[in-house]
Chain A
Amino acid sequence: MTTDVSQFIDVDRGEIQGEIFHSAAIYEQELERIWARSWVFLAHDSMIPKKGDFLQTYIGEDPVVVVRQKDGGVRAFLNQCRHRGMRICRADRGNAKAFMCSFHGWVYDTAGNLIDVPHEETAYNPETFDKSDWGPRQVARLEEYRGFWFGTWDAEAPSLLDYLGDMAWYFDAHFDRYANGYEAIAVHKWVIEANWKLNAEQPASDMYHGDVSHASAKQVMGIGPTKEREGHQFSGTFGHGTGWWDLGGNTKRESVGDDWVAQNHDQVVERVGERRADGIRGHANIFPNFMFLHNGTIRVTHPRGPGEFEVWAWTMVPSDAPAEFKEEIRKKVLRTFSPGGIFEQDDAENWVEEQRIMRGFMARRSPLVYTMRMGDAKRDQNNLPGLTVDHPYADEGSRGMYRHYVDMMSAESWAQVIEAKVSRGEPVTYREIGLEGIAR
Chain B
Amino acid sequence: MTAVAETSQVAVLAAAPGAVASADLHLTHELATFLYLEADLLDDWRFDDWFALLATDLDYWAPTRENRTFRERRHETAPRGGAAYFEENHADMAQRIDRLKTHMAWAEEPPSRTRHLITNVRAFTTEKVDEFAVNSSFLVYRTRSERDEDQILGQRRDLLRRVDTPAGFEIVRREIRFDQATLLIKNLSAFF
User: Which residues of A are interface residues toward B (Cβ below 8 A)?
Assistant: 90-95, 185-193, 212-213, 215-217, 219-221, 310, 315, 327, 330-331, 334-335, 338-340, 342, 344-346, 348-350, 352-353
* A177 CA to B84 CA, complexed, in Å: 27
| A189 contacts across to B, CB distance below 8 A | 64, 181-183
Query: A187-B83, A310-B182 are contacts. A348–B187 as well, Cβ < 8 Å?
Result: yes
| B105 contacts across to A, CB distance below 8 A | 216-217, 342, 345-346
* A331 CA to B82 CA, complexed, in Å: 9
Contact in complex: A188, B83 (CB < 8 Å):
yes
Contact in complex: B107, A345 (CB < 8 Å):
yes
Contact in complex: A339, B187 (CB < 8 Å):
yes
Contact in complex: A345, B182 (CB < 8 Å):
no
Find A352's partner among B99, B102, B182, B186 (CB 8 Å cutoff).
Answer: B186
Query: A187-B83, A189-B182, A191-B184 are contacts. A216–B99 as well, Cβ < 8 Å?
Result: yes
5 A-B pairs closest in CB distance: A340-B188, A186-B83, A345-B107, A190-B183, A216-B105
Which residue of B68, B95, B106, B148 has the most chain A CB atoms within 10 A of its CB atom?
B106
Q: How far is the CB of B92 from chain A (nearest CB, A)?
A: 7
Query: A220-B98, A344-B187 are contacts. A190–B182 as well, Cβ < 8 Å?
Result: yes
Contact in complex: B82, A186 (CB < 8 Å):
yes
Contact in complex: B106, A213 (CB < 8 Å):
yes
* A315 CA to B64 CA, complexed, in Å: 13
A-B contact pairs, 22 of them (CB 8 A): A91-B68, A92-B181, A94-B68, A95-B72, A185-B82, A186-B82, A188-B64, A188-B183, A189-B181, A191-B185, A193-B186, A216-B103, A217-B99, A220-B99, A220-B102, A331-B87, A340-B62, A342-B96, A345-B105, A345-B188, A346-B106, A353-B145
Contact in complex: B92, A215 (CB < 8 Å):
no
* A330 CA to B86 CA, complexed, in Å: 11
Q: How far is the CB of A302 from chain B (nearest CB, A)?
A: 10
B5 within 8 A of A: no
* A333 CA to B75 CA, complexed, in Å: 21
Contact in complex: A345, B187 (CB < 8 Å):
yes
Contact in complex: B187, A186 (CB < 8 Å):
no
Q: How far is the CB of A186 from chain B (nearest CB, A)?
A: 4
Contact in complex: B72, A94 (CB < 8 Å):
yes
* A310 CA to B103 CA, complexed, in Å: 28
Contact in complex: B78, A186 (CB < 8 Å):
yes
| A185 contacts across to B, CB distance below 8 A | 82-83
Contact in complex: A191, B102 (CB < 8 Å):
no
Contact in complex: B187, A94 (CB < 8 Å):
no
Q: Which of B59-87 contact A (CB under 8 A)?
A: 62, 64, 66-69, 72, 75, 78, 81-87
Bitwise interface map of B from 22 to 64 toward A, beta carbon under 8 Å scored 1, else 0: 0000000000000000000000000000000000000000101
* A288 CA to B67 CA, complexed, in Å: 26
| B102 contacts across to A, CB distance below 8 A | 215-216, 219-220
| A212 contacts across to B, CB distance below 8 A | 104
Which residue of A93, A310, A346 has the most chain B CB atoms within 10 A of its CB atom?
A346
Find B99's partner among A91, A338, A342, A348 (CB 8 Å cutoff).
Answer: A342
Taking CB as reference atom, which chain A residue is nearest B147? A356
| A342 contacts across to B, CB distance below 8 A | 95-96, 99, 105
* A348 CA to B106 CA, complexed, in Å: 10
* A345 CA to B190 CA, complexed, in Å: 10
Q: Which of B85-117 contact A (CB under 8 A)?
A: 85-88, 92, 95-96, 98-100, 102-108
Taking CB as reference atom, which chain B residue is nearest A313? B83
Q: How far is the CB of B24 from chain A (nearest CB, A)?
A: 36
Q: How far is the CB of A6 from chain B (nearest CB, A)?
A: 32
Contact in complex: A216, B68 (CB < 8 Å):
no
- 4 A-B pairs besides A190-B187, A348-B107 with CB distance below 8 A are A190-B184, A334-B85, A340-B189, A345-B188
Q: How far is the CB of B74 from chain A (nearest CB, A)?
A: 11
* A94 CA to B69 CA, complexed, in Å: 8
Taking CB as reference atom, which chain B residue is nearest A222? B95
Q: How far is the CB of B138 from chain A (nearest CB, A)?
A: 15
| A310 contacts across to B, CB distance below 8 A | 182
* A340 CA to B61 CA, complexed, in Å: 12
Q: How far is the CB of A87 from chain B (nearest CB, A)?
A: 11
| B145 contacts across to A, CB distance below 8 A | 353
Contact in complex: B66, A192 (CB < 8 Å):
no
Query: A93-B66, A215-B102 are contacts. A349–B107 as well, Cβ < 8 Å?
Result: yes
Contact in complex: A349, B187 (CB < 8 Å):
yes
Query: A91-B69, A93-B66, A186-B78 are contacts. A191–B188 as well, Cβ < 8 Å?
Result: no
Find A191's partner among B62, B81, B183 (CB 8 Å cutoff).
Answer: B183
Which residue of A217, A219, A338, A340 has the most chain B CB atoms within 10 A of its CB atom?
A340
| A334 contacts across to B, CB distance below 8 A | 83-87
Taking CB as reference atom, which chain B residue is nearest A184? B83
* A193 CA to B185 CA, complexed, in Å: 9
* A217 CA to B68 CA, complexed, in Å: 34
Q: How far is the CB of A210 from chain B (nearest CB, A)?
A: 12
Q: Which of B144-167 contact A (CB under 8 A)?
A: 145, 148
* A122 CA to B106 CA, complexed, in Å: 64
